[in-house]
Structure 1
C-alpha cells in the first residue's frame, strides 16, 4: 500500500486556473499525488473539512535584518520575520542582499547568508541590491552571481546611499539583459525629492504628513517613465516596485500598449492606507510616523486606481515591502526624538504577516478580485518572475507542499486586527483596527505544519535557501540593434 508522510483531505483547492475538491498526498516535502479520494496510509493526516486551500504565499519584496548606514535598525531578523510570514500564510520570502558603496556584491551575499543561517523557518531566496555598479561588479560579479542563482537585481533612483544615475542604471540593465536577470527599480526622482524636502523644512513644515508633500505623484510618474525609457533602450524587462499612484499606473499602461515587457508590483499600503494616515493626531502628533514609506500612501480616491490595476491585470504581483522599523527603541521610527522631522524618520511599514489576510478579506471576499487572481498575484506570479516556479507558487504533483488552509468568517464574525495578534518583532501595525474576514488556519511549508489553529511550531533554521532560475521572459536578439 502506498505510504505518504502526510495526506491533506477534503481540500477546496484553488490555483491560478482551477478550483476543485481533492486530497493531497505529500512525501519528502513534495506533493506526490492529488486525487478525489486518495488511497493509502500516512504518518499524518489533516482534514481541511472543505475549507479553501491555496498555494503558500511567495512574498517577493521583504527586508529582514538588512544593514543600514543611517542608524536605523530593522526589528525583524530572519527568525522573527519568517515566523511572522508563516503565521500569515507565506511560505517563501525574498529579502535583499545590500551592497554598500565601495564594497563588493559578494561581500553582501556572504553577509546575508550569515544573517539567515540557523534562523529562517520557511524557504528563502535573495535579491541583489546594486549601489556601486563598477566595471568589476557589472562584468564579473553580477554574471557569476546570476549563474549561482541570484537572478534578480534591485536598483534605486533615490536615497543618497543607494541611488544610481541613468548611465549606471543602463550599465546594470545591460548586464541583466546579457545574463538573463530581472531588474527591479525603485522609481522616484531623487533631485525633486531633495529640493521639495529642503523647501518644506525651511518653511518649518516638518511633521510626518509632509513626507507625502515631499514625494508627490509627479516624482514617481517622472521616474517611472524614465525607467521605462531606459529599459526600452536596452530592450530588457524590468519590474517597477511598490507602485503607489494612478500617474505611475498610467505610465505602465502606456508601456504595455507599446508592447514593452514592463512588470509592476504594488503593496497593501497603497490599498489600505492613505495620505490622511500621515496626518496630525492632536493627541499623538507623531503617530503618522508609523505610516511613512516611500512612495507614500496617496489620497483615498487613489486606492480605487490600485484596485483597478489588480483586477485588470496591470499589476504582476502584490508584495508586502515589509520594512519592520518599530516606533520606539534603538533605531526605530522615533529614535530621532518626538520632534524629529519627517526626513529623519525611517521609511517603511511592517506587513509580512498581514499581506495575504488583507487581500483575501478586502479583495476576494469583498468581490474586487477572484480567488484565481489572488493566487496569481500573491504566489504564482512572484514564483514565476523570480525563477522559483513550479517548485513554488502552485499546487501540483512535483511542487513543494507549501499549502494554506483558510478560515473564512461571516461578516458579523470578522476579527479585529491588532498588533498583539501578530508574530513579528515590531511594536505596531499600520492596519490596527481593520476587520478581517479570513486568516490562515494551517500553513504547511514543504509538508511541515508551521502554523495551525493559533500555534506556531517550527524550528529556527528549518527553512532552506533556494537558488533561483533565470526568469522566463522574452528578449530580442540584440539589445541595441534596433537603434543602429
Structure 2
C-alpha cells in the first residue's frame, strides 16, 4: 500500500487547529504527528512513498455535500451532470463524498427506484457516494419498504410539500411517513413549501402576463416556506420524528426552526450557497444579448432566491453562526440554458429548477471565512464534520484522525480561484450561476481514500474511484 505524509500544514477541525503532519497508509489516516517527527530515530518523510508539502496551507477533511441530484429527471428533461461528470467536478472543488437522492414516484416501488440509482452511480463516480431515498408516493407498499432501507445503508428519506402531481405528499401521507421515521430512527428530510398555494399564485401571475423567470421567486413567496416549515415541525412533534429541513432560504423559516429547537425538538436545517450570496433582485436585473430577461433562468431554483432588501442572506449567515442552521449543502441540480432552461421561455413555470454548485461550495464557504462571516473551524464543521455526523458517516468521514478514511484536502489561503465557464468550472453546464466570483483561496491537493485525485489544476482520479457508502443512523438523534 502507498504511504503518504502531508507535512508542514495546519490541520483544521471543527474544534480547533494545530500544526501537525498527517500520515496516511493506504486508504486510512494512521497518525497525526508533530511537525518533523522521527520514528525509530528516522525522519518519517524518509520512509514514505510520497510527501505532500502543505507549508502555509490548511489541511482539512474532504468536503461532504449531502444534497445533490445527479441525472435527476425533472421538468421534462434530466439534470445535466451525470454521476461521472458531477463527482469529478466535486473533486476539483475539494468535495470527496456526496449523498444523492434515489427517486420513487407515485405508483413505483421504492426498491426499484433505489436499484435504478445504484445502476446509474455504480462504477461511474470519482468520489464516494451514498443515497437518501425520495418517497414520492406514500402508500402502504412504500411505507413497508421504507422500514427495510436502513439495512441497505439508506437512513434518511425525503418528502415534498411542493410539486403537486410530481413529488407532493399531503399532510396525512407525511404523518404516516414520519411515524416510520420515529420507529426506525431514519431522518425525515423535508422540502418545505406550500405547493398547492404556490401553484395558484403562479397561475395567476402567468394569466397576468408576468412570465419572466423573476416571477418564479414571486410565486414562491417566503410565506409559503415559513408556513410549510411550521407545519412540518408540528407534524414531526406530533409523531416524535426527527426532522431535517432542506435548502432553507427565508429568514422566517429559520425563525420557525430556531423556535422548535429552543423547545428541545429534534429539528435541523441546511442552507445552500445561493441563499448566502445571490438574490432575487440580481435575477431581475439579469440581461444579455442572447437571452434578454430570460437570463434570469440561470438562477431559477426552489426554494427560490430571496430579496436582498429584506436581508434574507444576512439572516442565513447569522443562522450558521448561531447554529440555528447546522450545515451547508448545494442542492446541486444543474441544467443547461440551451435545450433545458429554455423549455421555460415564455412561462417561468416550465423552467427546470436547479443551480450547479457542487464544484464551488468549499470555496464559496471559505470566502465567508475571509469576510468574517464564519470562523475557519466553522467552515470545516459546516461543510464536512456536521454532514458526516448528521448522516451517519462520522469517524469514517468528516474528520482527520487515526482510523478515518484518508479524504483530505490541502487548501491554500494565499491562492486564488476565479469561478466561471472556462476558468474554474468542470460541471457539465453551458453557463455558471457563479460567473465572475473571485475566491481568496484555492484547493491545491485532494486525496480520496489516500489516492491523490486532484493536484493543482490537474485531475488524477478516474471513473469508478468512488465507492458506495452504507450509512448508519444520524448521530444527531436524541
* TM-score range for the pair, normalised by the shorter chain length: over 0.9
- 1:482: which partner in 2? none
Alpha carbons 1:290, 1:430 under 8 Å: kept = yes
TM-score by structure 1 length? Answer: 0.93
Offset, 1:280: 4.7
Q: Residue 10 in 1 paired to residue 16 in 2?
A: no
Where 2:49 maps in the other structure, the secondary structure is: strand
Match of 1:44 among 42, 50, 56: 50
Structure 2 distance, partners of 1:44, 1:61, is 34
Please give the per-residue CA displacement for 1:185-205, whole angstroms capped at 9, x wherever unaligned.
Answer: 000001210110111011000
Describe the shift of the 1:282–1:465 C-alpha distance in structure 2 as closer, same or farther (beyond 3 A). closer
Offset, 1:67: 2.9
Match of 2:25 among 12, 27, 48: 27
Q: Residue 383 in 1 paired to residue 381 in 2?
A: no
Offset, 1:50: 2.9
- 1:368: which partner in 2? 373
Offset, 1:417: 1.9
Q: Residue 334 in 1 paired to residue 334 in 2?
A: no
Match of 1:346 among 348, 352, 377: 352
Where 1:102 maps in the other structure, the secondary structure is: coil
Match of 1:358 among 352, 364, 375: 364
- 2:87: which partner in 1? 82
Offset, 1:378: 0.5
- 2:321: which partner in 1? 311
Structure 1 distance, partners of 2:441, 2:285, is 31
- 2:159: which partner in 1? 155
Where 1:183 maps in the other structure, the secondary structure is: strand
Please give the per-residue CA displacement for 1:421-463, whole angstroms capped at 9, x wherever unaligned.
Answer: 2111111111111121012111111111111111011110110
Structure 1 distance, partners of 2:286, 2:241, is 46
Match of 1:99 among 104, 113, 122: 104
Structure 2 distance, partners of 1:310, 1:238, is 18
Q: Residue 124 in 1 paired to residue 129 in 2?
A: yes
Alpha carbons 2:246, 2:271 under 8 Å: kept = yes
Structure 2 distance, partners of 1:29, 1:5, is 9
Q: Residue 63 in 1 paired to residue 63 in 2?
A: no
Where 2:473 maps in the other structure, the secondary structure is: coil
Structure 2 distance, partners of 1:464, 1:44, is 24
Please give the per-residue CA displacement for 1:297-346, whole angstroms capped at 9, x wherever unaligned.
Answer: 111122111111111111111001101111113xx11134xx33110100
Offset, 1:416: 3.2
- 1:302: which partner in 2? 312
Offset, 1:209: 0.6
Structure 2 distance, partners of 1:302, 1:238, is 22
- 1:417: which partner in 2? 419
Alpha carbons 2:194, 2:228 under 8 Å: kept = yes
- 1:479: which partner in 2? none
Q: Residue 184 in 1 paired to residue 195 in 2?
A: no
Alpha carbons 1:239, 1:263 under 8 Å: kept = yes
Structure 2 distance, partners of 1:13, 1:54, is 6
- Within a 5 Å distance, the mapping from 1:214-253 to structure 2 comes to 214-253=219-258
Offset, 1:372: 1.0
Structure 1 distance, partners of 2:287, 2:22, is 54
- 1:108: which partner in 2? 113
Match of 1:146 among 130, 147, 150: 150
Which structure 2 segments of 5+ residues have no match?
none
Match of 2:413 among 385, 408, 411: 408
Alpha carbons 2:72, 2:333 under 8 Å: kept = no
Where 1:264 maps in the other structure, the secondary structure is: strand
Where 1:388 maps in the other structure, the secondary structure is: coil
Offset, 1:18: 2.3
Alpha carbons 2:343, 2:350 under 8 Å: kept = no
- 1:439: which partner in 2? 442
Q: Residue 456 in 1 paired to residue 459 in 2?
A: yes
Structure 2 distance, partners of 1:409, 1:48, is 12
Alpha carbons 2:271, 2:327 under 8 Å: kept = yes
Alpha carbons 2:181, 2:242 under 8 Å: kept = no
TM-score by structure 2 length? Answer: 0.94
Alpha carbons 1:158, 1:187 under 8 Å: kept = yes
